[in-house]
Structure 1
Amino acid sequence: MHIAVAGNIGSGKSTLTKMLAKHYGWEPRFEAVDRNPYLEDYYRDIHRWSFNLEIYFLKERFRDLIAISQSEHTIIQDRTIFEGVYVFMENNRSMGNLSDRDYATYMELFEQMISMVRLPDLLIYLRASVPHLVNNIQQRGRDYEQSMQLEYLQNLNERYDDFIYHKYQGRVMTIEKDNLDFLHNPKDLAQIIDRIDATLFGLFPNQ
């Protein structure tokens, strides 16, 4: 089984992935953010490094999908290849950071990749407001994230909603994150677990 956790920068994806992996005994898989050799360059000069960054992420996410499809264990994944395309890549394109030629090349590559894999069994969408995201980003203190503009985060939020509610064809569970603290409040985590149990195993009524 393949479970994925989706959400904007600072929404709590990695934290929830770790906690659910521990609770269910699932194998966690995290995207290689800190190992991306283009990330710091990208935040310094988005226009110059967007294509390089997106191709690297696409390559890594496709490699993850192949590994997930071959695994005999249940995998819970932090961010999917679909978000990389329909949220981050589309946002970079709309900002004028990719040429039509680069975009066409990228999308052709993505379409060939995606024909070889299937959708996750469940996509958990952590939906959060921009102030909530900013607070989390500031708390974790990654230097390359501190210069992000509010408009950038808002644009990503809008694209996430469009992706989840209008483009994604798989099963989705939306979790409104602003009023939850599943890291420090066991009741909040239990509420999420109850919903997952209901969706995947039919143990409780859906709420």
Structure 2
Amino acid sequence: MHIAIAGNIGSGKTTLTTMLAKHYGWIPRFEPVDINPYLEDYYKDIARWSFCLEVYFLKQRFRDLLEIRKSDRTVVQDRSIYEGVYVFTANNRDMGNLSDRDYETYMELFEIMTDVAQLPDLMIYLRASVPHLVKNIQKRGRAYEQTMQLEYLKNLNQRYEDFIFNKYKGKVLVVEADDNDFQHDPDKFARIIERVDSALELGTLPFTDNE
């Protein structure tokens, strides 16, 4: 089984991935951000390095997807190939960092990959406001993230909303991340566990915190 954790930068994906893996005995798979050889160059010259960065991420995520499908154990993944494409790459294109030619080539490659891929059994979307994201980004202190513009995070949030509710065709559970300190509040984490159990059993979509 494949569980994916979706959400903007600083929403708590890695924390939730770690906690779910420990609770259920699932295998965690984290996004290898720090080893991307284009990342440092990308933040210095986004327009020059966007295509290289996005193709590298796509290659890594597709490899992860193939390995997850071969596994005989349940894997919980920190960010999926789908949001990488429909949120981050699409945002780079609209910001003028990817040419139409590069974007079309990228999307053709993605479509070929998804012809042989399967959607996750469940996607958990950590929905967070921009102030919540900023607080978490500042708290973890990654140097290359500290210069992110608020407008960039806002644009990503809007794309996440469109991706989750309009584009993604799989099963989704929506978890409101603001004022939800599941890392330190056992009751709030237990609520997430209850909803994950229900989502995997019932298959209704999307689940929200109001249900």
CA distance in 1, matches of 2:176, 2:188: 11
State the partner residue of 2:166. Answer: 166
CA distance in 1, matches of 2:15, 2:164: 21
State the partner residue of 1:132. Answer: 132
Paired residue secondary structure (1:126): strand
* Greater Cα offset, 44-53 or 118-127: 44-53
Q: Which runs of 5+ in 1 are unaligned?
A: none
1:114 CA drift (Å) = 0.6
Contact 1:12-1:126 within 8 A present in 2 as well = yes
Contact 1:10-1:137 within 8 A present in 2 as well = yes
Paired residue secondary structure (1:34): helix
Q: Aligned pair 1:59/2:59, yes or no?
A: yes
CA distance in 1, matches of 2:86, 2:61: 14
Contact 1:125-1:172 within 8 A present in 2 as well = yes
After the TM superposition, which residues 171-186 of structure 1 pair with which residues of structure 2 at under 5 Å, given as runs?
171-186=171-186
Contact 1:43-1:145 within 8 A present in 2 as well = no
Contact 1:29-1:77 within 8 A present in 2 as well = yes
State the partner residue of 2:142. Answer: 142
1:199 CA drift (Å) = 1.2
Deviation string for 1:158-199 (max 9, x for gaps)?
000000000000000001100100111111111100100111
Supply the AA of the counterpart residue of 2:109. Answer: L
Provide the identity percentage.
Answer: 69
State the partner residue of 1:111. Answer: 111
Deviation string for 1:138-177 (max 9, x for gaps)?
0000000000000000000000000000000000000110
1:23 CA drift (Å) = 0.1
Supply the AA of the counterpart residue of 2:128. Answer: A
Paired residue secondary structure (1:125): strand
Paired residue secondary structure (2:35): coil
Supply the AA of the counterpart residue of 2:177. Answer: K
Supply the AA of the counterpart residue of 1:87. Answer: V
1:42 CA drift (Å) = 1.2
CA distance in 1, matches of 2:36, 2:186: 33
Deviation string for 1:74-127 (max 9, x for gaps)?
010000000010000000000000111101110010000010110000000000
Q: Give the count of matched residue pairs.
A: 204
After the TM superposition, which residues 1-207 of structure 1 pair with which residues of structure 2 at under 5 Å, given as runs?
1-201=1-201, 207=211
TM-score normalised per structure 2:
0.95
1:49 CA drift (Å) = 1.0
Paired residue secondary structure (1:97): coil
TM-score normalised per structure 1:
0.97
Supply the AA of the counterpart residue of 2:100. Answer: D
RMSD: 0.9
Supply the AA of the counterpart residue of 2:4. Answer: A
Supply the AA of the counterpart residue of 1:74. Answer: T
1:14 CA drift (Å) = 0.4
Supply the AA of the counterpart residue of 1:77. Answer: Q
1:201 CA drift (Å) = 3.0
Supply the AA of the counterpart residue of 1:200. Answer: L
Paired residue secondary structure (1:77): strand
CA distance in 2, matches of 1:45, 1:178: 32
Supply the AA of the counterpart residue of 1:166. Answer: N
